[in-house]
Amino acid sequence: MAERDGLVFACVLDGRGSGHFGGWELVRSWKPDDGTLWVHLDFRAEGARQWLETESGLDGIATAALLTRESRPRSHARDDTMLVNLRGVNLNPGASPDDMIGVRVELEGRRIITARRRRLKVLADVREALEAGHGPTDSGSFLIRMIDYLLKRMISSFEAIDERIDSVQERIPTDSGSALRTEIADIRNEVIAMRRYLAPQREAVARLQSEQVTWLTPVQREQLRDLADRTTRRVEDLEAARDRAGVAHEELTSRMAESMNKTMYILAIVAAVFLPLGLITGLLGVNVGGMPGTNSETGFWVVCALLVALAGLQYWWFKRMRWL
């Protein structure tokens, strides 16, 4: 299987939205006159690393950028070649969206090289578009289509975050347990992790429209400008979600503090009421000689009436002082 050797697939774009797929034979027999070549690699395999280092014709800087394990979103152009590192949400089964997957792209006028360590559905979307006959036609349209799919894939994740925040805010008035606090913390951590990559990605996408490469058309530069605006909106959505989660956390903390204060207030009132009563009953319970009323048949009821009267007097005083 080709992917075991590092080649996920290769495709020669026909310039009409479709392409011809193949393996290493297609890569090695390709000529620029055949059309734009797209080589998609899994750089964990030795075959991919060997091809990049010895057969691709790339210099050391480009090769290192494609093979780096951890990449920060950025874009760089030189000698009519563009290097782009971007991040997409992890939509693989069982994965967390904030564990964002990096995609590394090297674009030339007639060749595209993409490298990944984990599967990214965005590149599968581009391949499906080519198979359906409405995919990219050249390097510029490939870059635009890939970024467009990255942004579309993010929408569902952002909507899920908004729905979770809405659910949390609805539950705050009736639920202030540890589970809700944990959920808010998880949302905030997820948003922070996603913004960590999307903030520099906004800058990287914004730079693409002004890169000095000859194979980007004026129309494509306008499309890249629109994609930069959409990326900015996605970052703003994340910032809004972060602020909403922060407000939810503050509201929950405020409600918990208010509930605790009410509880402590009630305990203080109860203690204030029973402290003098307990003092009197404790004093009368001293087992020494000379206690008044020990020989009286009505002594117990007199003490009870005295305690009730004292409790009533305390209640009146608390109401007058507006403590109740």
Q: Is the pLDDT of residue 49 over 60?
A: yes
Compute the average pLDDT of residues 98-120. 87
Q: How confident is the model at residue 70 (pLDDT cuts 50, 70, 90)?
A: confident
Q: Is the pLDDT of residue 29 over 50?
A: yes
Better-predicted residue by pLDDT, 283 or 142: 142
Residues across the chain: 324
Neighbours of 263 (CB within 10 A): 10
Contact 131, 138 (CB under 8 A): no
Tens digits of residue pLDDT in 291-317: 777 777 787 888 888 888 888 888 888
Q: Is the pLDDT of residue 99 over 80?
A: no
**Burial bucket for residue 69 (CB in 10 Å: 0-12, 13-18, 19+):** exposed
pLDDT at position 260 is 84
Share of the chain above pLDDT 70, in %: 95
Q: How confident is the model at residue 2 (pLDDT cuts 50, 70, 90)?
A: very low
Residue 82, beta-bridge partner list: 77, 107
Q: Is the pLDDT of residue 98 over 70?
A: no
Q: Is the pLDDT of residue 170 over 80?
A: yes
Compute the average pLDDT of residues 233-244. 90
Compute the average pLDDT of residues 202-214. 90
The whole-angstrom separation of Cα 49 and Cα 107 is 18
pTM above 0.85, yes or no: no
Q: In a 3-state reduction of DSSP, which class is residue 265?
A: helix
Q: Is the pLDDT of residue 3 over 60?
A: no
Q: How confident is the model at residue 1 (pLDDT cuts 50, 70, 90)?
A: very low
CATH assignment, 2-255: 3.30.460.20
pLDDT at position 79 is 87
Compute the average pLDDT of residues 90-102. 70
Contact 111, 39 (CB under 8 A): yes
Contact 161, 192 (CB under 8 A): no
Q: How confident is the model at residue 181 (pLDDT cuts 50, 70, 90)?
A: confident
Q: Where are the domains of the chain?
A: 2-255, 285-320
pLDDT at position 226 is 95
Give the contacts of 4 (CB within 8 A, at least 6 positions apart). Answer: 45, 47
Q: Is the pLDDT of residue 8 over 50?
A: yes
Kindly tell me the sign of the dihedral angle through the C-alpha atoms of 163, 169, 172, 173: negative
Token pair belonging to 238: 């994340």
Q: Which of 81-95, 185-199, 276-290 has the highest mean pLDDT?
A: 185-199
Token pair belonging to 167: 């659910």
Q: How confident is the model at residue 114 (pLDDT cuts 50, 70, 90)?
A: very high
pLDDT at position 95 is 61
pLDDT at position 93 is 65
Instruction: Please give the torsion angle defined by the CA atoms of residues 249, 252, 256 and 262, in that order, rounded to the nearest 10 degrees.
Output: 130
Compute the average pLDDT of residues 45-58. 90
The HSE-up count of residue 49 (CA atoms within 13 Å, CB side) is 9
Q: Is the pLDDT of residue 102 over 50?
A: yes
Q: Is the pLDDT of residue 284 over 80?
A: no
SS3 content of the chain, % helix, strand, coil (to 5): 60, 15, 25
Q: Rounded to 5 degrees, what angle do the CA atoms 45, 119, 46 make?
A: 5
Q: Is the pLDDT of residue 235 over 80?
A: yes
Q: Is the pLDDT of residue 287 over 80?
A: no
Instruction: Please give the torsion angle defined by the CA atoms of residues 95, 96, 98 and 103, in that order, rounded to the nearest 10 degrees.
Output: 10
